[in-house]
Structure 1
Amino acid sequence: MQKQGLKLAYAFAVLNAVIIGFSFLFTKVALGHAGPLDTLTYRFAASFAVMSVPVALGWVKVSYRGKPIGRALLLAAMYPLGFFTLQVFGLQHATSAEGGILYSFTPVVTMIIASIFLKETTTLLQKLCIFLSVFGVVFIFVMKGSSIQLSNMTGIVLLFMTCLAFAGYSVLARSLSRHFSPAELSYLMMGIGFATFLIISLTGHAAGGTFSDFLSPLKSGTFILSAVYLGVIASLVTTLTSTYILSKIEASLMSVFTNLSTIVSIAAGALFLGEEITVYHWIGSFLIIAGVVGTNLLGRKKAKAKPGADRTEPLSR
């Protein structure tokens, strides 16, 4: 049972990378119809609405009584609130390429924070594999002619803070997985995300007298499809699966899978936008995959030496 749970966790980690990789494409489409905050509002409206149905019908049980709700609220403050807010404003002062480069360092930041707060340990070879996956992402962006411009320091700082927010989420979610089911954490996070971004967005439109702009994206079927993908698939599904993953494997091992999304975004760009795939894309992708596989194969051998480190928990209670 434990081995099956571990296999499922790794399958979910790969699935998440694929979903996130395609989310860049859908985000570009959505932002063509609505501003960043409005897009986030509709994104979390979709995720919260979809999950509210099984919760209301009793198909998914959620209970927060007697549980560390304060820490769960801190989790929601890191992700989705902190992560997406920092990302939106960071990209206003920096390029998407800079965002991609900085986001690739998330596994390194997660490894450091997890070692401090969760006492997770990684071997030298695991550390080298994590850095190899990061180097693969940076290599692709640098070969494309992208770099980090110090003149965009405000954006760079904000985007680096998204790494801290996601790393903090990964570490805290692993800790909270002993108290909450994935469904309970996900429902709380989606609800807080929806309520917060809705208030911010409506306040901004009310102050500017542009409420019609808030509703106008709903006239586009393309925008609705993008919002549903971003909300239901890229937010709700990945949050559910991430919480499950973190109940099975270390935060530092899970986080390295995020760099696989770079490969997926390259493939999506080639398939749907006609973007060219060059030799350096293949080299960088190989480095990323080698880093991810190496980190987790070495981690699995290490876990075998310490049986019973993780216990299996169901997706919902």
Structure 2
Amino acid sequence: MVEKRKAYIAATLYAMIVGLSFMFVKMALTIATPFDALAHRFTIAWIAASVLLLFKKETINLPTKDIIKIACLAILYPTLFFAFQVFGLVHTSSSEAGIVHASVPIFTLVLASLILREKTTYGQKIAVMLSVLGIIYILYMNGIGDKSISLLGNGLVLLSAVSAALYNVFARNLTKCYSLLTITYIMTLFGLITFNGLAIISHMLNGTINLFMQPFTHLNFVIAMLYLGILSSLGTSYLSNYALSQLQASQMSVFSNLATLITVLAGIVILNEPFHYYHAIGACVIIAGIVGVNYLRD
């Protein structure tokens, strides 16, 4: 009972961190370019991972082929996942992004069925269609009045959700072969190299390399990077792993609904983002689909 209670606390903390992460990304993007924000985020995450590795006195000694396997997976997460997310948030609000991102469990279910041949019930298929309709409804309503920028942003966030779902599917076997810290460390290192490389190349082409570290002169940016680098990139991995050691995957997935709610509320209350009636309708439909996927198992 005590372990279960701790697991629920871990899952709740996980949802809160994920829910607020969209707001901190938006905060960072008011000061830095998307590539700079990603580069600095993963630099801090890698430093934190290195300190954790040193503290736990673990060593990473893997064959080259195993490192390549993890690096290939890192193309999906963190590279494509965070790239689509950050560039999407340039064009849409954090609350809208949070609603669309709630589709990750749905895409995971569909892709697991197609790739891993996992069976789904008739009720789960209907629930998947329900959530997809919720996403389409939000995107359609945003398109009314020629809101093409918001459509682009939500489309990129949707691609981010698909990247996360693909990672969830392909990572299942990988997580059985290596420790969580090993996978996290290599992926974080891959993100550091990729995004710092892209940021530096971008600055060199524009002749603005002297501005690369300038965002750190803003306190809000420093706070956002510490949150995104340490809590959002590293903390969520350990919290979700602990929760899943005590709870069923379906139980854990329900906490993504809480993350969506927190994202929406943070966007409205803290960032003063607009929220329309169709956001509420679409969010309810998506969440209803997610709950249906988790509970219509028989």
1:110-125 paired onto structure 2 within 5 Å:
110-125=108-123
1:284-299 paired onto structure 2 within 5 Å:
287-299=285-297
Counterpart amino acid of 1:110?
T
What is residue 195 of structure 1 aligned with on the other side?
193
TM-align CA RMSD? 3.9
Tell me: CA distance 1:71–1:116, structure 2 relative to 1, closer, same or farther (3 Å): farther
What is residue 176 of structure 2 aligned with on the other side?
178
Q: 2:108·2:169 contact (CA, 8 Å) conserved in 1?
A: yes
Tell me: CA distance 1:49–1:184, structure 2 relative to 1, closer, same or farther (3 Å): same
Taking the aligned partners of 1:275 and 1:159, their CA distance within structure 2 comes to 17
Tell me: CA distance 1:222–1:37, structure 2 relative to 1, closer, same or farther (3 Å): same
1:1-317 paired onto structure 2 within 5 Å:
8=7, 12-60=10-58, 62-65=60-63, 68-89=66-87, 95-96=92-93, 103-133=101-131, 141=138, 145-147=141-143, 158-242=156-240, 258-274=256-272, 287-299=285-297
Shift of 1:189: 0.9
Taking the aligned partners of 1:281 and 1:26, their CA distance within structure 2 comes to 21
Tell me: CA distance 1:108–1:291, structure 2 relative to 1, closer, same or farther (3 Å): closer
Counterpart amino acid of 1:34?
A
Shift of 1:262: 2.6
221-230 or 65-74, which moves further after superposition? 65-74
What TM-score, normalized to structure 1? Answer: 0.74
Q: 2:254·2:291 contact (CA, 8 Å) conserved in 1?
A: no
Q: 1:253·1:296 contact (CA, 8 Å) conserved in 2?
A: yes
What TM-score, normalized to structure 2? Answer: 0.78
> Identity, % of aligned pairs?
38
Taking the aligned partners of 1:135 and 1:7, their CA distance within structure 2 comes to 35
CA offsets per residue over residues 91-129 of structure 1, 9 Å max, x none? 66x545875665444333221211123232222223334
Tell me: CA distance 1:203–1:246, structure 2 relative to 1, closer, same or farther (3 Å): farther
Taking the aligned partners of 2:139 and 2:74, their CA distance within structure 1 comes to 33
- Mind listing any 5+ residue stretches in structure 1 that lack a counterpart? 303-317
Tell me: CA distance 1:173–1:254, structure 2 relative to 1, closer, same or farther (3 Å): farther
Tell me: CA distance 1:41–1:251, structure 2 relative to 1, closer, same or farther (3 Å): farther
Q: 1:47·1:190 contact (CA, 8 Å) conserved in 2?
A: yes
Taking the aligned partners of 1:297 and 1:17, their CA distance within structure 2 comes to 19
Shift of 1:205: 1.5
100-109 or 280-289, which moves further after superposition? 280-289
CA offsets per residue over residues 104-156 of structure 1, 9 Å max, x none? 443332212111232322222233344445555666x479x524879678777
Taking the aligned partners of 1:5 and 1:70, their CA distance within structure 2 comes to 36
How many aligned residue pairs are there?
Answer: 295
46-55 or 274-283, which moves further after superposition? 274-283
